[in-house]
Amino acid sequence: MKKYDGYVALALEKGVDDALIVDTAKVFTAPWVRMKCKFGCAGYGKRLCCPPHTPDHMETRAVLDSYKQALLCHKHWKKDYKVVGGFNDTIVDLETAVFLDGYYKALGLGSGPCSLCKTCDTSGTCRNPERARPAMEACGIDVFQTARAHDLPIRVVRSHGEDRNIYGIVLIE
């Protein structure tokens, strides 16, 4: 059994569809990703876990480069918005498990906007810092390229009502 395989098993037990240990060099960042948030998402700037309050792609790349491996998690989302919140809770739970095993640098990033509070006070500090995590895309991670580099399913959806694939990551070391 490889060093982090227990986290793959734990992620699968918690209901993710796929979990892989990946090299952080194969987690891709790009400057255009946060532009898609700014010019395409009605939630831009409305939550502390969304741009412009999150790290840009360069800062995220520097963070990724301070790790060697990560747990990449995938969930097929079937038109149920509650799935995203539950998935992000799973990412935080996995981060906590990794941390408690002695990997003090453990850090998770989820999917989509944070939904812990009905409204977010972006002028202050987060009311739920122990559970709130930004999405991979909010930090400039190209989720499509990252998923495809690991042969995981992802495609462009044509409407908000379509099934989709969501991703989260836990940086380990």
From the number of C-beta atoms within 10 Å of its C-beta (0-12, 13-18, 19+), residue 139 rates as buried
> In the prediction, which pLDDT does 42 show?
87
> In the prediction, which pLDDT does 159 show?
85
Query: For residues 8 and 94, is the Cβ–Cβ distance under 8 A?
Result: no
Residues spanned by the domain of 70 = 5-172
Query: For residues 87 and 81, is the Cβ–Cβ distance under 8 A?
Result: no
Residue range 36-83, pLDDT digits in tens = 999 988 889 999 999 999 999 999 999 999 999 999 999 998 766 556
From 34, 24, 59, select the one nearest 140 (Cα to Cα): 34
HEC readout, the chain: CCCCHHHHHHHHHCCCCEEEEEEHHHCCECCHHHHHHHCCCCCCCCCCCCCCCCCCHHHHHHHHCCCCEEEEEEEEECCCCHHHHHHHHHHHHHHHHHHHCCCCCCEEEECCCCCCCCCCCCCCCCCCCCCCCCECHHHCECHHHHHHHCCCCCCCCCCCCCCEEEEEEEEEC
Query: 107-109 and 164-172: which strand pairing?
Result: antiparallel
Q: How far apart are the first and last CA of the chain?
A: 17
Of residues 23 and 162, the one with the higher pLDDT is: 23
d(CA 35, CA 52): 10
Across 1-5, 48-52, 118-122, 143-147, least confident range = 1-5
d(CA 146, CA 152): 9
On the question of pLDDT at 1 being above 60, the answer is: no
Residue range 119-134, pLDDT digits in tens = 999 999 999 999 999 9
Number of domains in the chain: 1
Residue range 71-117, pLDDT digits in tens = 999 999 876 655 667 899 999 999 999 999 999 999 999 998 898 99
Residue 42 tokens read as 């009605």
